[in-house]
Structure 1
Amino acid sequence: MIALVQQLLDTVVKIPRLLRSPFVAALFQVSNSTFDDEMGRTSVREGWLKTRFWLKGNRENVRINRASVSWDNECFNCMCVVKRVNFRAKRLRWVSLKTSSIAIFDSIEDTIARKAFLFDSKFNIERGLATTGSSTTLLVSNATYVLQMEAKSKQALLKWANDIRRVAEASNWSQAHRDGSFAIPRNPVHMTSFAQWYVDGSGAYEAIYHAIQSAKKEIFIAGWWVCPTIHLLRPAEQYPESRLDLALQKKAEEGVQVYVLMYKEVSVALTLNSMFSKQVLSKLHKNVHVLRDPDFLMKQLGLWSHHEKIVSVDQRVSFVGGLDLCFGRWDTHSHELFDEPGKPTDFVGKDFSNPRVKDFIEVDRPEEDMIDRNVVPRMPWHDCHCRLEGQPARDVARHFVQRWNYSVSTRKKSRKLHHLVPMKDYPVTIIDKHGPQKLTKRLQKAVHAVRAMRGLSRARANTDNRGFNSDRRMARMLSSQNESGNVPILQDDHADVMLDLPDGDEEGDEAFEKHKQEVAARGYRVNTQILRSLSLWSGGVATERSIQNAYIRLIGSAQHFVYIENQFFVSGLEGDHGCSNRIANALVERIRRASDNNEKFRVIVVMPLLPAFPGKPDDKDASSLRGVMHWQYRTICRGEHSIYQRLYQELEDDDPFKYIAFYGLRNHSNREGAQAQTEEVYIHSKVMIVDDRACIIGSANINERSMCGDRDSEIAVLVEDHEMEEEITIADGAYSVGKFGHSFRMKLFEEHFGIEPGTPLYHKYQDPVSKDAWFSMQEQAMNNHQIYDSVFGCLPSDSVTSFAQIDSHIQSAQGLDTSGRGADEAVAAALGSGITDATSNNDEHVRSSSVSERTLSPRGGSSRGRKSVFSGAMNVNMKESSHIAEKKHELSNVKGHIVYFPLKFLVDEDLEPKLFPATLFQ
């Protein structure tokens, strides 16, 4: 009998027409979506089932005979049991059980899933008459959805139930992970895990462009603001093909599916005009799918936003960080204020912007300038981004898939869009288990094997030798180690870097150089974990605040220093009911422990000098500016709930400024024949580096909106070094640093402090913990601040403690009368506003209540504290000069962009807006 069946099947598979039959495919439990060129077989079990799929919402009880899930109170009494009336009919669908999800297809021939059910930590499965109401029905649920499946028989259902339970229990996605994250920490020893940092937009945009060009299957883009007309390569006129919409259109025409998930703003508060972006992108090609979310009337009345910045290509390479693909973000390390004379502009149209002067308007006219670029300086934009490759990139893609699917499920206008299915995880393999030395020996053995193969078959050298036609070239590859002794690593089949070198020496050398460039672009082999802030409204899940948890854990475990760059700094201490995130409290606790143990411990915080809102702090309509300033100063130095005040109370005779210091960034222009001007370098980074070994890079600000989890949606990556720089140490030689973390921090220091590798100052700043480096950094920042204050009378300044002193301070510093046009121009220049005429048309503009990137929203507050706390070292009298022209030669003494962050600015004023909820500014 078995032989007859075998003979029948052999006959079937030999007939192409029968083999293509859906009935034969169903017999073998395969479909058009079963196999993937890269990942092989993608499913565990497939077959026809009747299914029903609905949103779970916030109701935990999903049993078939207990209550309503889809609608409240839609049930009826039947004798002694209450059963739900569900108007969604069960439909026969092709169901594919995958390693981390269940995909539902309309037919066996489809390659695009209609619905997708992802395994998560809330996974649950129930079957049987008592719980589902039928012996042939299976009920599967996660944090977001309920999937009901009905088989033809009890035996068939049992097989499905057993396979689903087995796969789910074996999946990492069904488990709880460190810091409460949805994603497991990834180790490069077990699978491909690479990360590369980027400082400022130029390098990050270029890498994103090349990643998009390499796409073969799909591109995911999620952003708070996506502008289709920005150029990823500059100057724009030299690289017209790098415009985002054109780059996406080219890939869509090649068959790549493009998915763009944009934040749908509240138009009365923000001028993003996401509808324009959607219209432009949707018209590019049928393979471009665009979705805006949320509908603010339905989800929290528009109080919160989707704030992630994601680009994912083929679920293989992903980018996360602070950079949106929009106007005003591209910049270089030099942070120039004006276009370079005689050269094509890097900032076309509205890309030349200054939110401190004028908010974005008419973004559907991207080529038109908003400000006079010859008079008004642009506001330089400092940001950080990260490229991930391998499994962490796939984890980022899974987050995008989860958010996309939830948005499709909750928006009626998106019914024509389909769910996405995450690719299966990379296989767990042992990579470089014994280190570079062992790997080198194994590669050398491979050379000898290649020699033997050549000796056996010269005729088949082109195909069998894998390109290793030169022992000299192979030896050169083995010796191409960097300073740390690393060698190019032969990864598993999914590493996407091949070592196939052609036979010709020149061609082989060129291919090998290209391979080295590809390896360099991948960055560093690191441990990674994807973190996020997500909740019921934003992703249909229980509130996750793993970003805040990771910040607190890393600060608490820091050995020597913490370096923070962030757009905001709003946090609370223990007992503070006005602010719930506890990052500031973690810093205070760690400093207290260092003081008690007489440890040398440093905290460096770099943040914007002023929030990016138009106007002066004393302007009537500058409530957003004052509100953010209030909460930041309240966190840092004003009132009983501030960091410095608490440290002064608890450190006794110890000086808090030994442990923590705050800085800002500023730049200036000194053009030939033009008046010197200055502007703050706006810090938009969301970065923390701990001990040069662990980093968090993402989209989350240090404030309530980003850290609480149930407000803005965010994503970040925690990168922990796997490879150490043994020759470089910190803490006076007591602690070795990681390659990723140290190189990242030193790149930031090169820019901020104006240092170059190989110089004595560079060597000194490699160890920020040492007393010499700590006070040298403060001195350099203070010197720069004094020069800027002397030449321009900059704001903020410690000399200005009240609104009444703003105008007089600037006018006195610049040697101008206290009335008339000259005084107005001086005030505008000191605030980074250029010439007042350039902003006269701003009066008709309805300003955004959150220019910097947030939709403002209400929630409770707390009282202000009037006292600032300072040590004698910070009480420096600011010098004043009479004219910018006479004093601008002093600008040559400015080194780097680092400046002191004035802690006494407007200390005598109550900055808290009384008519608005505190949550608007947190």
Structure 2
Amino acid sequence: MTQSILVPDDTCWTVEEAARFAVIVDAADYYRFAKEAMLKARHRVFLIGWDFDARIELEPEAQTVGGPNRVGRFMEWLAQERPELDVRVLKWDIGILRSLGRGETPAFLLHWLMPKGIDFRLDSAHPTTSAHHMKILVVDDALAFCGGIDMTMGRWDTREHHEGRPGRHTPRGKPLPPWHDVTTCVTGAAARGLAVLAAHRWFWATGEELEPVPPTEPHWPTGLVADFEDIPIGIARTLPRYEERAHVNEILGATYAIIRAAERFLYIESQYLASRRICEVLMERLEEPDGPEIVVINPETADGWLEAKAMDTARVRMIRLLMEADVHDRFRIYYPVNAAGTPIYVHAKIMFADDRALKVGSANINNRSMGYDSECDIVVDAVAHPERRAAVARVRDGLLAEHLGRSAAEVREALERTNGSLIELIDTLNSTDRKHLVPLRPRELSLGEELFAESDAADPIRPVGLRRILRSLTQRAPVRQIRQMRRRRIEARNARRQHLG
């Protein structure tokens, strides 16, 4: 009997039954469903995030759900109209600097922080330079959203990712580029499990213990189709060691388990590809004679100067390592573009092993997400259930269809024609006259970029002090090591060419 991927205290924190479970792709749907769920709340609305921008519109093109449209005004209105409702917001404390940087005035932020029916707190319960990266919304402890989408500027988009979409703009009206993201919605014991995690976060941040709310029937959002019903799901976390709290890296364990469970292919969407530990497991699979294909979807480049400097340089190194290990030609990495050729930014964090398993949440494939920041992922293992495996396949095929500008039916038919090869499927359906995938080629790095990528400052996996970060940036010891790596890379490339004839 095949062992389950879901192992409490190893690959997940807990396994809970989800009465309904849906994967929601892109923020246009998520914002609408979230607003409707909050409007139907009876006891508590609890929003936890890396970032919030009170100025953004939940439905920027056509409002279909009642109440104010801007997220800040909506939360205020909800608390004032329903004084019996417990409305709480928990935001990463250093994220307040991002708010100032994007144009929110101190007076505007102060208005948010003043008591007015919303219990708004900044969460500082983390090591120096660590981030609270979870994105969770819990309604009445009965329905919860968990994934990679923050309610902040630049996230809203539809699955079409049209050029010049009018709803895709800053609060001041400046157009924004296409953006691809994923979250989930759950009910049942799984929602209560996420409510317990939210209560833990509140306690760590404030020292206040929250009581569960009275049992309430969940109000499933109108128009949201459940991908699964009555299915056990794993809730997996990353938590850095902090004060008396122990280090937790269940997401790393889940990632290893999913990679090792794949038989035909791994399909991965992630904002980054920067974790050496994860890439080493991928390399092992590529070196196997009958191992799986590995297809990765990334953005063309990271969002922001510092992220690009750290994550893109690390990605170049990871791609090189994977290409060197790819002696059987089973690895591809792409970035998506819309029909006009504009790159679509990939912020999604979702992974599939065949039609058996999926993992979706806030964790990227970088060191921070595996040990340094707080993260939450949902894990599904459909190993012995044909109906659940079919549902996993439908979610995966829908994502591929979105990126290729095709229907899910076309993707399924192509996968059958190619005998289950994702690489051949993409080669067959990829066409530049519509949305498509562009191969991502590694560039040459300067010695300075190699040094930065090798430093703790680039992408730490454990909490480190500022002194160590500064020392790692200034030390010269890695220079000889990097030059040796370059020589080994050239030798490996020549050996691979010789192997392939």
Which TM bucket (shorter chain)?
A: 0.7 to 0.9
Query: 3-state SS of the aligned residue for 1:300?
Result: coil
Q: 1:214 to 1:327 in 2, by over 3 A?
A: same
Q: Offset of 1:179 from its aligned partner?
A: 1.6
| Residue 268 (structure 2) pairs with residue 544 (structure 1) | no
Give runs of aligned pairs for residues 806-817 of structure 1, distance below 5 A. Answer: none
Q: Offset of 1:631 from its aligned partner?
A: 0.7
Q: Offset of 1:909 from its aligned partner?
A: 4.0
Q: CA–CA distance in 1 between the matches of 2:221 and 2:39?
A: 19
Q: 1:523 to 1:243 in 2, by over 3 A?
A: farther
Q: 1:703 to 1:244 in 2, by over 3 A?
A: same
Query: 3-state SS of the aligned residue for 1:679?
Result: coil
Contact 1:201 1:331 survives alignment (8 Å): yes
Q: 1:300 to 1:725 in 2, by over 3 A?
A: closer
Q: Offset of 1:636 from its aligned partner?
A: 1.4
Contact 1:706 1:713 survives alignment (8 Å): yes
Q: Offset of 1:540 from its aligned partner?
A: 4.8
Q: Which one-letter code corresponds to 1:419 in the other structure? A: E
| Residue 424 (structure 2) pairs with residue 741 (structure 1) | no
| Residue 303 (structure 2) pairs with residue 612 (structure 1) | yes
Aligned to 1:404: 202
Contact 1:527 1:722 survives alignment (8 Å): no
Q: Offset of 1:753 from its aligned partner?
A: 1.2
| Residue 52 (structure 2) pairs with residue 223 (structure 1) | no
Q: 1:522 to 1:586 in 2, by over 3 A?
A: closer
Contact 1:626 1:911 survives alignment (8 Å): no
Q: Which one-letter code corresponds to 1:754 in the other structure? A: G
Aligned to 1:872: none
Q: Offset of 1:526 from its aligned partner?
A: 2.1
Give runs of aligned pairs for residues 838-857 of structure 1, distance below 5 A. Answer: none
Aligned to 1:213: 39
Q: 1:664 to 1:314 in 2, by over 3 A?
A: same
| Residue 90 (structure 2) pairs with residue 300 (structure 1) | no
Q: CA–CA distance in 2 between the matches of 1:257 and 1:742?
A: 39
Q: CA–CA distance in 1 between the matches of 2:222 and 2:317?
A: 48
Aligned to 1:528: 233
Aligned to 1:770: 420
Aligned to 1:383: 181
Q: CA–CA distance in 2 between the matches of 1:756 and 1:627?
A: 36
Q: CA–CA distance in 1 between the matches of 2:157 and 2:225?
A: 22
Aligned to 1:241: 68
Give runs of aligned pairs for residues 200-599 of structure 1, distance below 5 A. Answer: 200-235=26-61, 241-252=68-79, 253-254=81-82, 255-265=84-94, 271=101, 279-283=110-114, 285-286=116-117, 288-294=118-124, 300-301=127-128, 303-339=129-165, 345-348=166-169, 350=170, 366=171, 368-369=172-173, 371=174, 373=175, 378-409=176-207, 418-422=208-212, 520=225, 523-537=228-242, 540-572=244-276, 582-593=277-288, 595=289, 599=290
| Residue 378 (structure 2) pairs with residue 717 (structure 1) | yes
Deviations 1:841-865 (A, max 9, x none): xxxxxxxxxxxxxxxxxxxxxxxxx
Deviations 1:689-725 (A, max 9, x none): 11222111100111011112xx111111112338955
Query: 3-state SS of the aligned residue for 2:350?
Result: strand
Task: Give the counterpart of 1:179 among 3, 6, 10.
Answer: 10
Contact 2:314 2:453 survives alignment (8 Å): no
Query: 3-state SS of the aligned residue for 1:747?
Result: helix
Q: CA–CA distance in 2 between the matches of 1:767 and 1:423?
A: 52
Q: Offset of 1:222 from its aligned partner?
A: 0.8
Aligned to 1:707: 370
- Structure 1 residues without counterparts, runs of 5 or longer: 1-175, 340-344, 351-365, 410-417, 427-493, 498-514, 573-581, 615-622, 649-654, 670-677, 727-736, 785-893
Q: Offset of 1:916 from its aligned partner?
A: 8.5
Q: Offset of 1:281 from its aligned partner?
A: 3.6
Query: 3-state SS of the aligned residue for 2:255?
Result: helix
Q: CA–CA distance in 2 between the matches of 1:540 and 1:740?
A: 41
Q: Offset of 1:276 from its aligned partner?
A: 6.4
| Residue 404 (structure 2) pairs with residue 753 (structure 1) | yes
Contact 2:236 2:251 survives alignment (8 Å): yes
Task: Give the counterpart of 1:646 among 325, 347, 350.
Answer: 325
Contact 2:263 2:291 survives alignment (8 Å): no
Q: Offset of 1:279 from its aligned partner?
A: 3.3
Deviations 1:311-333 (A, max 9, x none): 00011111111100011101011
Q: Offset of 1:385 from its aligned partner?
A: 0.7
Q: CA–CA distance in 2 between the matches of 1:305 and 1:741?
A: 31
Contact 1:584 1:643 survives alignment (8 Å): yes
Q: Offset of 1:613 from its aligned partner?
A: 2.7
Deviations 1:640-667 (A, max 9, x none): xx1222344xxxxxx2x2x221111112
Q: Which one-letter code corresponds to 1:749 in the other structure? A: L
Q: CA–CA distance in 2 between the matches of 1:716 and 1:780?
A: 31
Task: Give the counterpart of 2:334 among 646, 654, 663.
Answer: 663
Q: 1:347 to 1:268 in 2, by over 3 A?
A: closer
Bigger radius of gyration? 1
Q: 1:398 to 1:383 in 2, by over 3 A?
A: same
Aligned to 2:468: none
Deviations 1:258-289 (A, max 9, x none): 11000111777772669767534445733x10
Q: Offset of 1:668 from its aligned partner?
A: 4.8
Contact 1:199 1:384 survives alignment (8 Å): yes
Q: Which one-letter code corresponds to 2:391 in the other structure? A: F
Deviations 1:534-577 (A, max 9, x none): 1332x8521000001001012112222211000000122xxxxx
Contact 1:533 1:707 survives alignment (8 Å): yes
Query: 3-state SS of the aligned residue for 1:186?
Result: strand
Q: Offset of 1:518 from its aligned partner?
A: 7.8
Q: 1:284 to 1:744 in 2, by over 3 A?
A: farther
Query: 3-state SS of the aligned residue for 2:16?
Result: coil
Q: 1:278 to 1:403 in 2, by over 3 A?
A: farther
Query: 3-state SS of the aligned residue for 1:179?
Result: coil
Deviations 1:118-162 (A, max 9, x none): xxxxxxxxxxxxxxxxxxxxxxxxxxxxxxxxxxxxxxxxxxxxx
Contact 2:51 2:95 survives alignment (8 Å): no
Q: Which one-letter code corresponds to 1:666 in the other structure? A: V
Deviations 1:737-783 (A, max 9, x none): 71431121111011111112444x54113687635x532413655x6
Contact 2:271 2:347 survives alignment (8 Å): yes
Contact 2:12 2:254 survives alignment (8 Å): no
Query: 3-state SS of the aligned residue for 1:241?
Result: coil
Structure 2 length as normaliser, TM-score? 0.80
- Structure 2 residues without counterparts, runs of 5 or longer: 1-6, 460-501
Aligned to 1:55: none
Contact 2:23 2:227 survives alignment (8 Å): no
Query: 3-state SS of the aligned residue for 1:247?
Result: helix
Contact 1:665 1:898 survives alignment (8 Å): yes
Contact 1:534 1:545 survives alignment (8 Å): yes
